[in-house]
Structure 1
Amino acid sequence: MEMTTDVLVVGGGPAATWAAAKAAASGARVVLADKGYCGTSGATASAGTGVWYVPPTPEARERAMASREALGGYLADRRWMARVLDQTYDSVNQFASATRYPFPVDSSGQPLRNGLQGPEYMRRMRTWVRRLGVQILDHSPVVELLVDSAGVAAGAVGYRRQEGHEYRVRAGAVVLATGGCAFLSKALGCNVNTGDGALMAAELGAEMSGMEFSNAYGIAPEHTSVTKTAFYNYATFYRADGSVLEGAGSQRGRSVIAKALLTEKVYCRLDLANEDAQRAMRLAQPNFFLTFDRLGINPFTAKFAVTLLAEGTVRGTGGIRIVDDYCATTVAGLFAAGDAATREPICGGFTGGGSHNAAWAISSGGWAGIGAAAFAQTVGPMHPARAVRAAGGVALRPTGSGSVDVPDVVKAVQDEVLPYDKNYLRHGDRLRSSLDSLHTVWDTLRDCLHASGSAAPRARQAAAMVAHARWMYTSALARTETRGMAKRLDFPDQDPAQRHRIISGGLDKVWARP
């Protein structure tokens, strides 16, 4: 299937739908391609989320910007924070008007717009972008980008799962809103987030930024996927012998839990929540309690075993580097938004959690859509006639012979990024050992893995995860200090001389530098 459009948006979550909406509102023809069903797949669609929605008063905005600066290692940018706060406030109000989303109200009848229920939010976003004329390709994962002779992004090639054929979209500009990478850890809603966009961007020469801020882990009841962590502020954590696990409930409690989980089980009980808090919690996040209710466990009175699930750059801050106010990348015609892009401008080196990441998706998605629409206009009506080529490499065009199985590749990368003592409790010696293994996996992939048709999306997912892991650990080794999420056991202190960001890139040869 051959298509032509002004703007191609790759992804189907909040950032993608906001990009599509803003591009269409700018007068551009827009195609949105999602590997799942737009509006139902991804981290937001499966849960509720807070939103960094702050009234435009100087005092409120100052508190909002100051709240995480120290946690983020002072790598955030006040100008970007202010832009995101302004844009999120305006966009959420626009969303409320355009879709009539049923925000709850306070005791005085004023709407509370600092939170969204994911399923309803994304259902309405899908309806809105369709009303704006966006053509949605569901179940249509993109496997590689198109590029013209000048190195300008020019569309993409993908596979339509339900129709069983490839498709090709020529575009004047491309927005990557494909999410971060959680390494198929089974965290809620994150198994579609495998870093595909970053791999495709790197194949065109795009750079990454903040990839050392990628060791996010979410607390979840053992054998479940629900990593909603806010309610664990009401928890007491226990060792297997019943004694309290001291420090587990603190701001840095996940490090304590990770160390304990290396040798024993850890248990939890939400015993600090009074009856009013319990009722409010069930109203705010009903899906948090679904597993407990099915198992017949009252989490407020009974202990339950917990684990940590890797969320990588989904809840981390690293991603594709952006270079202007409209989220352009270092590749002409290519824009990045949401978790696919770095969130350092507003979060620095500390997790954006739900609220900041949600605001970033709304804001960066909108800016990327506007920027892509403007860039497509500069290409002009001749862009369908541009000579373009497919830019994909690993897993599509092997350099050697032999064979390797995709499940083996996935296991090999997970063995290096999921264990707490390798990724979360980082040490230079272990990082270097894991990186050596990952380089070997990449070289094998590059030589041996070849997939086409329906097999191509999963092969490319595996390749994207390996690429992500190599950028992560290369960047982590370049930051010889502990700052924000980038903790180093061998460099436990923050170094004032390293108050800079680290960019990275490369595929066959990975690099990182301040």
Structure 2
Amino acid sequence: MTDLDLVCDVLVIGGGPAGAWTAIGAARAGADVLLVDKGYCGTSGAAAAAGVGAWYVPPTEEEREHAVRSRQKLGGDLAERAWVERVLDEVWVRMRELDAFGFPFSDTERPREDLENPGGMGYQRGMNFLHLQGPDLMRVMRRQVRRAGVRILDQSPVLQLLTDGSGAVVGAHGRRRQEQVDYRVRAGATVIATGGCAFLSHAIGTDVDTGDGYLFAAEAGAHLTGMEFSNAYSLGAKGTSASKGAHFAYGTFTREDGSEIEGAGVLRGRSVIARALIDGPVYCVFDQADDAVEHEMRLQQPNFMGGLDKLGIDPRKQRFEVDLILEGTVRGTGGIDVVTDDCATGVPGLFAAGDAATRQLICGGFTGGGSHNIAWAAASGTFAGTGAARYARAHGTAAVRTHDTARAGLAGTGGTDHREIVRAVQGEILPLAKNYFRAGDRLRASLDVLDAAWRSTVDLGPDADGRSHARSAVALAATGRWMYASALARTETRGMHRRDDFPGIDPAQTSRLLTGGLDDVWTRWEQDALLGAAS
């Protein structure tokens, strides 16, 4: 088969919740939309396999103020009130719209206008979230994307962005795996909704989340922010891929000899568990759960409880070994910086949404968990889709001559195996002693290894069908360097970023930290960048 040349108004890269909401938003704004996904839109990605919720807060002064204040301190005073409020406004609309799409809410869970009972049993006042199931969500979203007239290319990973002579992003180059042909898309605007980066830790649904979108954006000239807040680990049964931190609130944690680990818990006690894991095995038993709680556990995350069932473990009576599984920026808050209300990146023609975009704007420096991810996906996707359609309408798709942006992983000498790079990166990013608990000397040592891995990416020269894996390896190396460069620059402990050598909060560092660059990674404080731009 011959290569494909395609044209659209808006190209959406990624088919998770953010990509789906982006595509729908752009199509509603009158754009001809093409969505391309690394896997199958509807089943690939972290949300598709998860029991999740949506941050869903009634538009009353008391409830909204509580939502803003509760995140502000936890996130290290880095969230921005204006973004929080407009995201909550958008989610309030989108969740009711999800009901109209045919999402299988029960009668008692359906979102409604009644502010005294805005979500029935599904809405928990004080918890501020609406229960969803990922498989149902993505089945409904794929159907709605198709109903909106959006073209979908499944199993079609993007390899690089394309730019015109001015540096504006005008589409992308990718590979259709099943047809074994390359494709090039000329687009008026492009939205990156590729998810975050979990470094192939095998956390459920995240093996497609390798930071590809970060790499694409940086190669086109965009920068990132909040990458120091990228060390999110979730509790799960050792040897399984599913995690559900909330379940462990009903557990007792013990060492191998059976002694209880004092202070262990799912939130503030997470560090206690992490330190215990560095010393040896840790076990848990859900001895504080009753029948009603277990029933709710099975509803919220069937994959988690199903894994224990397959191991023949009754988690309320038998202790099981646990582990902390890295989820990186999938559950962290770092990502591509967005510089306008419509999630534009500052590079003409390029927008970002969902986990690919920084969630620091609404969460600050501490994860909000799946509920904030879904809320951000719905809101930022809608913002980006509408903004991209508007940009495409203004600028058109006239570019015929395009320029590749890829720096490595497509046409090297073939002297390096991408798996060697992945192993090298994982060796510095996955261990708790290096990433969960950070210190300057360890970060510098890891950066030396990651810099060497980055330099070796120029030798990646796979065959046509191996280029996606090679590019993901390049993205892992790049993402690890941005993470650790940012972690080294933030000489304090704030949010989920912990420095053993700087255990306190430094008020002078209450600012977002920007990062970028490829061969030469840079970091700078946003307040300094703003002062420089104004001078």
TM-score, normalised to structure 2, is 0.93
How far off its partner does 1:48 sit?
1.4
**Contact 1:30/1:135 (<8 A) preserved:** yes
| Aligned mates of 2:360, 2:399 — CA distance in 1 | 38
Counterpart of 1:131? 147
Which secondary structure state, in structure 1, belongs to the residue aligned with residue 9 of structure 2? strand
Q: Aligned partner of 2:404: which letter?
A: A
Counterpart of 1:394? 408
Counterpart of 1:214? 230
**Contact 1:103/1:111 (<8 A) preserved:** no
Counterpart of 1:457? 468
Counterpart of 1:475? 486
Q: Aligned partner of 2:465: which letter?
A: S
**Contact 1:193/1:314 (<8 A) preserved:** yes
Question: Which of 42, 49, 53 is residue 46 of structure 1 equivalent to?
Answer: 49
Which secondary structure state, in structure 2, belongs to the residue aligned with residue 354 of structure 1? helix
| Aligned mates of 1:61, 1:185 — CA distance in 2 | 36
How far off its partner does 1:280 sit?
2.3
Which secondary structure state, in structure 1, belongs to the residue aligned with residue 74 of structure 2? coil
Question: Which of 89, 99, 107 is residue 92 of structure 2 equivalent to?
Answer: 89
Bigger mean CA deviation after superposition, 104-113 or 2-11: 104-113
Aligned positions of 1:226-241 closer than 5 A: 226-241=242-257
| Aligned mates of 1:106, 1:29 — CA distance in 2 | 35
| Aligned mates of 2:85, 2:156 — CA distance in 1 | 36
Which secondary structure state, in structure 2, belongs to the residue aligned with residue 367 of structure 1? helix
| Aligned mates of 1:507, 1:441 — CA distance in 2 | 12
| Aligned mates of 2:469, 2:213 — CA distance in 1 | 14
Q: Sort the Cα spacing of 1:103 and 1:18 in 2 relative to 1 into closer, same or farther, 3 A.
A: farther
**Contact 2:245/2:266 (<8 A) preserved:** no
Q: Aligned partner of 1:252: which letter?
A: R
Q: Aligned partner of 2:202: which letter?
A: K
Identity %: 55
Counterpart of 1:60? 63
| Aligned mates of 2:50, 2:399 — CA distance in 1 | 43
Question: Which of 442, 451, 455 is residue 430 of structure 1 equivalent to?
Answer: 442
Q: Aligned partner of 1:42: which letter?
A: G
Counterpart of 1:80? 83
Aligned positions of 1:439-454 closer than 5 A: 439-446=451-458, 448-454=459-465
Question: In the TM superposition, what whole-angstrom CA distance separates every residue of 1:171-203 from its partner, at most 9, and x where no partner exists?
Answer: 000000000000000001011100000000000
Counterpart of 1:498? 509
Bigger mean CA deviation after superposition, 85-94 or 110-119: 110-119
**Contact 2:58/2:64 (<8 A) preserved:** yes
Question: Which of 6, 22, 25 is residue 22 of structure 1 equivalent to?
Answer: 25
Q: Sort the Cα spacing of 1:453 and 1:255 in 2 relative to 1 into closer, same or farther, 3 A.
A: same
**Contact 2:246/2:266 (<8 A) preserved:** no
Q: Sort the Cα spacing of 1:158 and 1:441 in 2 relative to 1 into closer, same or farther, 3 A.
A: same
Question: In the TM superposition, what whole-angstrom CA distance separates every residue of 1:1-58 from its partner, at most 9, and x where no partner exists?
Answer: 0100000000010000000000001110000000100000111000110110111111
Question: In the TM superposition, what whole-angstrom CA distance separates every residue of 1:372-404 from its partner, at most 9, and x where no partner exists?
Answer: 000001112xx2444211111111244xx5600
Counterpart of 2:285? 269
| Aligned mates of 2:414, 2:19 — CA distance in 1 | 37
Q: Aligned partner of 1:112: which letter?
A: G
How far off its partner does 1:62 sit?
1.2
| Structure 1 unpaired stretches of 5+ | none
Q: Sort the Cα spacing of 1:154 and 1:385 in 2 relative to 1 into closer, same or farther, 3 A.
A: closer
Counterpart of 1:405? 417
How far off its partner does 1:251 sit?
2.5
| Aligned mates of 2:107, 2:254 — CA distance in 1 | 36
Question: In the TM superposition, what whole-angstrom CA distance separates every residue of 1:313-333 from its partner, at most 9, and x where no partner exists?
Answer: 000000000000000002111
| Aligned mates of 1:282, 1:221 — CA distance in 2 | 15
How far off its partner does 1:252 sit?
2.5
- Aligned residues: CA RMSD: 1.5
**Contact 2:265/2:273 (<8 A) preserved:** no
How far off its partner does 1:278 sit?
2.1
